[in-house]
Structure 1
Amino acid sequence: MKMLVRDVVSEISSRIGLGIVPGCEQNGLHRGIANLAALILEEEETSGSPDERRFQLESATIEENHAIVGAEDRIPMVSQNYGSLRRRGLNRRGAESPNNVSGSPPSVSPLSSSVILQREGAITQPASTPASPLSSLSSQITQLNLPSPEDCTQDPNWQATKSSVRERNAAMFNNHLMADVQFIVGSPGHTQPIPAHKYVLATGSSVFYAMFYGGLAENKKDIEVPDVEPAAFLTLLKYMYCDEIQLEADTVLATLYVAKKYIVPHLARACVNYLETSLTAKNACLLLSQSRLFEEPDLMQRCWEVIDAQAEMALRSDGFVDIDIHTLESVLSRETLNCKETHLWDAALRWASAECARRELEATPANQRRLLGPALNLIRLPAMSLEEFANGVAQTGILNPQETIDIFLHFTASSKPQLCYPIKPRQGLKTQVCHRFQSCAYRSNQWRYRGRCDSIQFSVDKRIFVVGFGLYGSSSGAADYNVKIELKRLGRVLSENNTKFFSDGSSNTFHVYFENPIQIEPECFYTASAILDGGELSYFGQEGMSEATIGSVNFQFQCSSESTNGTGVQGGQIPELIFYGPPTDD
């Protein structure tokens, strides 16, 4: 047997360029070849066929035309050829587990394994560093589009198909292969087992490191995570394994929670960015509640900007009834809300009815009052009109008789009683106006509306909320105008309103408003349009500016193809844009 091993060693050594080996223990490289030769000869004992033995020996060697520098580089290739013999069915011992897909023999010396690992480390550096998942984050997150992890590793030589560490890590995502921990994720009755690998998790999260390798680490195979949604947990793991972030509207809040729970700040930041870009009046109140919970001040500020400017829409949203009592109190006490107190009253009662349902209580006035508690006293009932109070609040049964009488006396009596409700109206947001003309013309060079469209395109560098437009009126005396105003983005109508205004014949501008403020995103062009019917002769603007700065907001203007009445950047109509924006210094 010893001579046979030596013969095989000599044959392999000569094939790979090492020359004839006088002994089998000269160095680690020769010992590795010797171990490999011994394994090949073990196969011969059961194969019996000389042709088959020759096939094994031929397959275990390396073709001389492989351009590989350094003898140690050849060891992994020999091992791979040995693995190919076993995969062809020449290993008849049947002792290997089907999960062993490495292709290396079970008794290869430690040196051979270390050389393979060294070789692996030398070739796995990616050709180019992948871009950070946060560098181009938007509502559509770039995906790696990998096949199923289990499918990726069905091929026994799957490692050879992955050219980078990222691809090999991605193949292990949600894969039972080599997994050393399993998470049972989800609430009882709705759990999902998710396999993982401790090393990968520990390198991506200090919480996981403490769980698996810290001083109080517990060596549990299954770990229950009842407070996390499976979809959100998989998003976390996908980021750790694949350096990829894939967010969806219905799971982004749960993903933010799990990113905070396991202290993965880059994923948490991506979630916040996603929420900020998808923030609207419909979800602002609910996101405000969540951002308070997650302690995200930037997201909270963005939510307040939307709620302040589009308060009526936010209060009517479905998500408003799902906020917590502390967020409700914050909304009701907000000084800068742009809405009537009747809207706040109606929203508070909607929330109270929903809270009764959550607590399985009948939505009676007494129960609603009890659940609202001190929040009710934040509504500024005396700031309503007498008609609004008498026809609405007074008839709900929420207030006790004495409160109702006192508020009526506040409206009507000269000696007003002391009230437990704030009296001063809310300040609301201050409107700002962007003037795009430096002067206007009249009489000798008059403008005619004629029912045609006046239109201009604009963009801003900060998020604002357009409230309405300023328009020129009649240049030949007082006149009434019917006007249709419209705001579009990429051809889609965001808002429109048919309204009227009275012109006193002066060169002043006259403001017309949309029913609700429209959110304007930065670095996008919007089209403002107006169609007027009335006195034909009017003032018009001239010396128009292509750029204008109001406070901290920079406007840019360009001509619109929809303008059929002559309005452009240099002159025409729509001289003003009225908006809510970041507060100015004054």
Structure 2
Amino acid sequence: MKRSLSNTALVKYIYCDDICLEADSVLLTLYAAKKYLVPHLARACVEYLETSITARNAFIDAQAELALSSEGFTEIDFSTLETILNRETLNAKEASIFHATLDWAKMECSRRNIEPTPDNQRKILGKAIFLLRIPTMTIEEFANGPAQSGLLSLQETTDIFLYYTARNKPILSFPTKKRLGLKVQICHRFQSSAYRNNQWRYRGRCDSIQFTVDRRIFIVGFGLYGSSNASADYKVKMELKKMGKVLAEDHTKFFSDGSSNTFRVYFQHPIQVEAETFYTASVVLDGNELSFFGQDGLNEVTVDKVTFNFHVSSDSTNGTNVHGGQIPELLFYGA
């Protein structure tokens, strides 16, 4: 979808001389503009990134892993790279941020017609390398990434290894505090849960609910009910659809401790959800048949200025609806 949006922006500019950019596709549009030698559109993409990314940019933050691995990331300019690396709310593993920065530095060497040696990459990055929070990686990520990249000096590599393992830790030039990322917000759609004589049963059927929101958000996962008898393990197939089209599907597991608490399951990547559009959240659970279920469901729920409206889904074959059943929570990032 994002690739088609970037191609649309390119074609629209070529034939209509009209620049129309969107936050969630601008990196791919930049890549396409560079690939097909459309310099004015490429400059417009860079300017768009410079102005929008300094403010709160939900796409860059919420879908950081996708943005960092996109084809357009290596085409951004140095000041935009610095701005991204400075972001406290960047929602990505530091190892992913490091490797994306390394890819950018290699591409910048190519643009400058110099050999992409570690020394040249380090010179190009300059002080921006110290925006990477390398010590917040796991020791395995560090050992298999930065420590072998050639980008760090022997002293820096030694000091970081000592930081992981020594009681008296050295003072580092790299930030040692993890990025905050984005706070997961929770939409609770039931006012209570039931159990004992009225247990919910899983028979490999689909529990599903349809919803709309009044502003853009990013769905990151669902909260689910577990066993009402005793502790149990569950396998989950989770899905998010937009007007019948599957946007994301993941298979995961969770452990239920036998309480009425909800248990969170997450998609691999956050999924962008647009305002005033019908989406369907679905799960198929495999595990202990008897579970808690929600009741006294709400048609409308507002969480931090985002209003959710819930509707019956025709995909639901296990009884879940607006008023009762499964999927008590939608987990999301605000935009």
- TM-score normalised by structure 1 residue count: 0.52
Structure 1's 380 and 300: CA in aligned 2 closer, same or farther, altered over 3 A?
Answer: closer
Query: 1:552 and 1:292, CA in 2 relative to 1: closer, same or farther beyond 3 A?
Result: farther
Match of 1:230 in 2: none
Contact 2:53 2:84 in 1 (8 A): no
Q: Distance in 1 between matches of 2:297 and 2:55?
A: 33
For 1:255 and 1:303, locate their aligned partners in 2 and report how far apart those are by CA, in whole Å: 32
Given that 2:240 and 2:247 are in contact with CA atoms closer than 8 Å, whether structure 1 keeps it comes out as yes
Where does the alignment leave 5 or more consecutive residues of structure 1 unmatched?
1-139, 141-246, 259-266
Residue 275 of structure 1: CA displacement? Answer: 2.0
Higher normalized helix content (fraction of residues): 1
| Equivalent in the alignment of 1:279 | 24
Answering whether residue 323 of structure 2 is matched by residue 570 of structure 1, we say yes
- 8 Å CA contact 1:281–1:307 kept in 2: the answer is no
Return the offset for 1:300.
Answer: 4.1
Deviation at 1:402, TM superposition (A): 0.7
SS in 1 for 2:59: helix
Shift of 1:301: 6.7
User: Who is 2:35 aligned against?
Assistant: none
Report the residue type matching 1:365 in the other structure: P
Counterpart Cα distance in 2 of 1:439 and 1:558: 19
SS in 2 for 1:249: helix
Residue of structure 2 equivalent to 1:415:
168
Kept in 1, the 8 Å contact 2:10–2:29? The answer is no
Match of 2:181 in 1: 428
Q: What are the Cα deviations for residues 337-370 of structure 1, in whole angstroms up to 9, with x where unaligned? A: 1111100110011001111111111111111111
Given the alignment, which residue of 368, 375, 392 partners 2:121? Answer: 368
User: What residue number does 2:156 align with?
Assistant: 403
Q: Please give the residue correspondences for 1:268-347 in structure 2 after superposition, counting only pairs within 5 Å.
A: 271=19, 274-276=20-22, 279-280=24-25, 283=28, 290=44, 293=47, 297=51, 299-300=52-53, 304-347=57-100
| Change in CA separation of 1:358 and 1:282 when aligned onto 2, cut-off 3 Å | closer
For 2:10, the equivalent position in structure 1 comes to: 250
- 2:30/2:45 contact within 8 Å kept: no
Alpha-carbon separation, structure 1, partners of 2:66 and 2:56: 13
User: 1:379/1:288 Cα in 2 relative to 1: closer, same or farther (>3 Å)?
Assistant: farther
Q: Partner of 2:254 in structure 1?
A: 501
Shift of 1:442: 0.3
What amino acid is aligned across from residue 47 of structure 2 in structure 1?
Answer: L
- Matches of residues 73-84 of structure 1 in structure 2 within 5 Å? none
In the alignment, the residues of structure 2 paired with residue 307 and residue 405 of structure 1 have an alpha-carbon distance, to the nearest angstrom, of: 33
The Cα shift of 1:293 comes to 2.4
Task: Report 1:474-513 matches (<5 A).
Answer: 474-513=227-266
CA contact (8 A) 1:433 1:576 kept: yes
Q: CA 1:425–1:406 in 2, change beyond 3 Å: closer, same or farther?
A: same
Aligned length: 321
* Change in 2 beyond 3 A, CA 1:344/1:254: farther
Task: Structure 2: give runs of 5+ residues left out of the alignment.
Answer: 32-40
Structure 1, residues 467-495: CA drift from partner, whole Å, max 9, x if none? 00000000001000000000011221100
TM-score normalized with structure 2 length: 0.89
Question: In 1, Cα distance between the equivalents of 2:94 and 2:268?
Answer: 17
Superposed, which structure 2 residues align to 1:232-247 within 5 Å? none
Q: Secondary structure at the match of 1:279?
A: coil
Larger radius of gyration: 1
The structure showing larger relative contact order (alpha-carbon pairs under 8 Å, at least 6 residues apart) is 2
Query: Could you tell me which amino acid in structure 1 is paired with residue 171 of structure 2?
Result: Q
CA displacement at 1:254 relative to structure 2: 7.9
Measure, in 1, the Cα distance between the counterparts of 2:236 and 2:29. 32
**Secondary structure of the structure 1 residue equivalent to 2:147:** helix
Q: CA deviation at 1:279?
A: 2.5
Equivalent residues of 2:301, 2:307 under 8 A apart: yes
Q: 1:279, 1:303 within 8 Å by CA — same for their partners in 2? A: no
Q: Hey, what's the Cα distance between the residues in 2 that align with 1:335 and 1:288? A: 27
Q: What is the RMSD of the two structures over their aligned residues, measured on CA atoms?
A: 2.5
Residues 284, 528 of structure 1: CA spacing in aligned structure 2 closer, same or farther, 3 A cutoff?
farther
Alpha-carbon distance in 2 for matches of 1:443, 1:305: 43
Work out the CA distance in 2 between the residues paired with 1:555 and 1:458: 7
User: Matched residues in 1 for 2:225 and 2:84: separation?
Assistant: 38
Counterpart in the other structure of 1:515: 268
Check whether the contact 1:335–1:427 (CA below 8 A) recurs between aligned residues: yes
Q: Secondary structure at the match of 1:579?
A: strand
Q: Report the equivalent of 1:164.
A: none
Q: Percent identity?
A: 58
CA contact (8 A) 1:281 1:317 kept: no
CA distance in 2, matches of 1:458, 1:534: 26
Whole-angstrom CA distance in 2 between matches of 1:254 and 1:328: 27
1:468 to 207, 221, 227: 221
Q: CA deviation at 1:280?
A: 4.0
- Tell me the alpha carbon deviations over residues 140-171 of structure 1, each in whole angstroms, 9 at most, x when there is no partner: 9xxxxxxxxxxxxxxxxxxxxxxxxxxxxxxx
Q: Which amino acid aligns with 2:24?
A: L
Residues 438-449 of structure 1 mapped to structure 2, 5 A cutoff: 438-449=191-202
Give 1:304 deviation, angstroms. Answer: 1.9
Q: Does residue 541 of structure 1 match 2:301?
A: no
In structure 1, what residue type is equivalent to 2:21?
L
CA-CA distance at 1:283 after TM superposition: 3.6
Bigger proportion of residues as strand: 2
5 Å-filtered alignment, 1:256-271, equals 271=19
CA contact (8 A) 2:26 2:45 kept: no
Change (3 A) 1:255 1:382: farther
Separation of aligned partners in 2, 1:494 and 1:248: 20
SS in 2 for 1:275: coil
Alignment check: 8 A CA contact 1:462 1:522 kept: yes
**CA separation of 1:362/1:494 partners in 2, compared to 1, >3 Å: closer, same or farther?**
same
2:112 corresponds in structure 1 to 359
